[in-house]
Chains A and B, each alone.
Chain A
Amino acid sequence: MGIQINKMDTTITNNFKSEEYFINMGPQHPATHGVLRLLLTIDGEIIKKVEPDLGYIHRSIEKMCERDSYQQIVHLTDRMDYLSSHINNEAVCLTVENALQLEIPDRVKVIRTIIDELTRIASHTLWWGVMGMDVGALTTYFYGFRDREMINDIFEETCGARLTMNYNIPGGLMYDIHPNFVKRTKEFIAHFKTKLPEYDTLLSGNIIFQKRMKGIGILSKEDAISFGASGPVGRGSGYSCDVRKHHPYSAFDKVTFNEVLKTEGDTFARYQVRILEMWESLSIIEQLIDNIPDGEYKVATNAVIKLPEGEYYEKVETARGELGVYIISTGTKNPYRMKFRSPGFSNLSLLNHIAVGGKIGDLVATMATLDLVIPDIDR
């Protein structure tokens, strides 16, 4: 590995103008939040070029899927975007269920939607904490984690796990919800409604923060579309790309919510989109939490699921954007080929486009608003 890095460095060094230099940000760097390596070309403090170098946490999840049964694949997807693990599970389950043309009970759909939105809030609170830390406000981290902890406790009670939930199975849910689920979720909503304005007081309203965030990392709507940006990154540039709105799945067609759109396209717009999305998620949960229909929590499937021959694609909106699941089946118990379209990968690809010309501090702030989860990018 060492030899390879040296080779890479020298080739870049030879192309340098005298005043530019090369710096290696990552794979061990506080701002990359994982094992992402950025090869930066810098002129003083100004970024000239950003080259992401991936593969440090590649686990061949797609290849492993070809060997596993469909029930097993669900558990692998937890380990991709670990902050949206429930939504990842759901994506695979939806694909399999649609391929089998299973009729899913309404109870399952509603519970899935509630947990989706709780997951989204959990992911966004963590992002908010880390975002603050990236721009130097260390206290936000603990505020974000305080609120995320309550959601994790709810998950722990119902799913038995806090991060990799494994709650979905093809055909429904692993178990029914815990008797406390509704009560605790309501408690959380009441709690979080008082805490979300605190987020604005502590960070969003801070003049230094706004000066840091506004007008940097600008992504135009056209670029957002051509780079395949999705999720809050796309919506921060005014690109309406919410899968929940355009291709409703589970119970998203039963609830009313706004797709948060900002047209500025800078880091502050992306920041605001996520903050406002948390309000929308709260409203979605509020609409559903009292109306969980009675019924079965799963429908029976065969112990060995065999998808009919063909190609299947399903997409969902994770906390980071559009996650697509593509399965080619030859009619056996394993998929012939499996492909995930991960939101983080496309969002990372535009980093060079929007970070060039900024300072090192801008790069860190911009990267924070892309909300990268590296295992999602590498898989």
Chain B
Amino acid sequence: MPEAIASIVEMVLIAVVYLAIFAVAGLYLVLLERRVAAWFQLRLGPNRVGYQGLLQTMADALKLVSKELTVTIKADKFLYNLAPYFVIVTALMALSLFPFSKEFQAFDINIGIFFLTSISSIGVIGILLAGWSSNNKFSLIGAMRSGVQTISYELSVGLSLLTMVVMTGSLQLSQIVEVQKSGWLIVQGHIPAMIAFCIFMIAGTAETNRAPFDLVEAESELGAGFHTEYSGMKFAYFFLAEFINMFIIAAIATTVFFGAYLSPFGITESIPLLGVFWFLAKTLVLVFLMMWFRWTFPRLRIDQLLVLEWKYLLPLNLMNLVLMALMVLLGLTIKF
């Protein structure tokens, strides 16, 4: 087999494996969210279909696949049909970058962090298109909010990651993990790193349009916001993308702040595939944190959302960046 074809086949195979794994993982995140929500809300949650409700989301997915796809008469058909793919494809693309273990990383690019932030900003185009093309005023308001929100909070996501890049000196994710062999970055960078982590989690939650920043959907204000007019599988794409995006934000935080697949204090470093376990464990803790936000906090108002970003997070972030640069310059980082 010629080399070019071989590498294409390889890529396709990897893509298929990733798609299969993360479509299912996304579904199970939905189940996790529902069980966590139930736990917060004095309920039991889905526990009937399969053992402890493990097949519930499968059943839901089957239902969504088999449902009719409705289109409103005055919708812009082309954009309306295109929008969900923007959202889901960008979400899945970002997944290829993560170092799940030392060996298990599909795409180790030297501008990794930059690639992640740029990919995540493409997703918002899908939401804007969905709201615009639905020809529904509630959707349009949702889409406008989404644009405003994502553009604002992108800055904080980018800057808080940049703060950490000052320490690692590389945008490549495998390099970032390599640096953390002498201590996770949140320990190495102590105070500024913790500030950056807090900002990243806030901005990340806003990026994924989850409560308390779920103005885009704002159930009690806009019905369902930008995806009001979507049904069946097209709706499922938006829904799944939200959960995969949540996973991505948690995974970025794991990689950049908590040493990705590295075990705490290097206790299981010698066992080869346990890295995957550590990566997922750390990610799920952060996912749980984001679910905790969602089921505890009320929603912000649109102007408060912007005030939070432009008046508080962004200046704080810039100062933090300078602080981190000074710290690295003066060699005040903690290394084991």
Tell me if A255 counts as interface (CB < 8 A to partner B).
no
A20 to B171, CA, bound (A): 46
Q: Is A209 an interface residue when CB atoms closer than 8 A count as contact? A: yes
Contact A142 B41 (CB under 8 A): yes
Question: Using a CB-CB cutoff of 8 Å, which residues 303-324 of chain B contact chain A?
Answer: 303-304
Pick from B63-71, B98-106, B153-161, B218-226 the stretch touching chain A.
B218-226
Residues of B within 8 A of A361 (CB): 215, 218, 221, 299, 301-302
Closest residue to A140 on the B side, CB-wise? B298
Q: Is B335 an interface residue (CB 8 A)?
A: no
1/0 per residue, CB under 8 A from B, across A179-220: the answer is 000000000000000000000001100101101100000000
**Least CB distance, B143 to chain A, in whole angstroms:** 13
A199 → chain B closest CB, angstroms: 13
Q: Does A314 contact B (CB under 8 A)?
A: no
Residues of A within 8 A of B295 (CB): 138-139
Is B137 located at the chain interface by the 8 A CB criterion?
A: yes
| Bound CA–CA A212/B137 (angstroms) | 24
Q: A138-B41, A142-B42 are in contact. Are A133 and B297 (CB under 8 A)?
A: no
- A interface bracket (residues with beta carbon within 8 Å of B): 20 to 34
A146 to B43, CA, bound (A): 10
Residue B110 lies at the interface, judged by CB distance under 8 Å to chain A? no
Residue A45 at the B interface, CB < 8 A? yes
B131 CB within 8 Å of chain A: no
Whether A212 contacts B301 in the complex (CB less than 8 A), given A136-B212, A136-B218, A364-B220, comes out as yes
| Residues A130-172 near B (CB distance < 8 A) | 132-139, 141-143, 146
Report whether B298 and A203 are in contact in the complex, using a CB–CB cutoff of 8 Å.
yes
Known: A136-B220, A139-B40, A139-B41. A202 touches B302 (CB 8 A): no
A359 at the B interface (CB under 8 A): yes
A143 and B42 contact, CB distance less than 8 A: yes
Residues of A within 8 A of B297 (CB): 136-137, 206, 208
Which of A133, A139, A361 counts the most B-chain CB atoms under 10 A from its CB? A361
Instruction: Tell me which residues across on chain B come within 8 A of A202, comparing CB atoms.
Output: 296
Q: What's the nearest-Cβ distance from chain B to residue A25, in Å?
A: 9
Contacting B299 at CB < 8 Å: which of A23, A136, A143?
Answer: A136
Partner of B141 from A133, A134, A360 at Cβ < 8 Å = A360
Q: Which residues on the B side are within 8 Å of A209 (C-beta)?
A: 298
Cα of A314 to Cα of B137 in the assembled complex, Å:
46
- Distance (whole angstroms) from the CB of A192 to the closest CB of chain B: 15
Docked complex Cα distance between A204 and B223 (Å) = 25
Decide if A30 is an interface residue (CB 8 Å cutoff): yes
Q: Which chain B residues numbered 15 to 70 have a C-beta less than 8 Å away from chain A?
A: 37, 40-43
Say how far B46's CB is from chain A's closest CB, in angstroms: 16
Residues on the B chain within 8 Å of A135, using CB:
220, 298-299
**Bound Cα distance A334, B191 (Å):** 78
Say yes or no: is B214 at the interface (Cβ < 8 Å to chain A): yes
Is A23's CB under 8 angstroms from B138's CB?
yes
Contacts of A133 in B (CB 8 A): 220
Interface size class of chain B, counting residues whose CB lies under 8 Å from the partner chain: 20 to 34
Chain A residues within an 8 Å CB radius of B41:
138-139, 141-143
- B300 adjacent to A208 (CB under 8 Å): yes
Q: Collect the chain A residues with CB atoms within 8 Å of residue B219's CB.
A: 30, 136
Given A136-B298, A142-B42, A211 contacting B304 (CB threshold 8 A):
yes
The residue on A at minimum CB distance from B299 is A136
Residues of B within 8 A of A136 (CB): 211-212, 214, 218-220, 297-299
CA distance A243 to B273 in the complex (A): 72
Q: Does A16 contact B (CB under 8 A)?
A: no
Contact call A359/B43, Cβ cutoff below 8 A: no
User: Contact at B300–A212, with CB atoms within 8 Å?
Assistant: yes
Residues in B whose Cβ lies below 8 Å from that of A206: 297-298
Chain A residue contacts of B215, Cβ below 8 A? 361
Residues of A within 8 A of B141 (CB): 45, 360
Bitwise, A203-242 to B at CB < 8 A (1) or not (0) is 1001011011000000000000000000000000000000
Q: Answer yes or no: A362 CB below 8 A from chain B CBs.
A: yes
Q: Does A59 contact B (CB under 8 A)?
A: no
A178 at the interface (CB under 8 A from B): no
A350 within 8 A of partner (CB): no
Considering only residues 125-165 of chain B, those with a C-beta below 8 Å from chain A are 137-138, 141
Q: Which of A23, A30, A45, A208 contacts B302 (CB 8 A)?
A: A45
Q: Is the CB of A30 within 8 A of B220?
A: yes
Contacts of B298 in A (CB 8 A): 132, 135-137, 203, 206, 208-209, 212
| A56 interface hit (Cβ, 8 Å) | no
Instruction: For B299, list chain A residues within 8 Å (CB).
Output: 135-137, 208, 212, 361
Interface residues, chain B, CB within 8 Å of chain A? Answer: 37, 40-43, 137-138, 141, 211-212, 214-215, 218-223, 295-304
Task: List 19 A–B pairs whose Cβ atoms lie within 8 Å, in order of A's numbering.
Answer: A29-B223, A30-B220, A31-B220, A45-B141, A133-B220, A135-B298, A138-B37, A138-B211, A139-B37, A139-B40, A139-B295, A203-B298, A208-B298, A211-B300, A212-B304, A359-B301, A360-B221, A362-B301, A364-B220
4 closest Cβ contacts across the A-B interface?
A136-B299, A142-B41, A137-B298, A135-B298
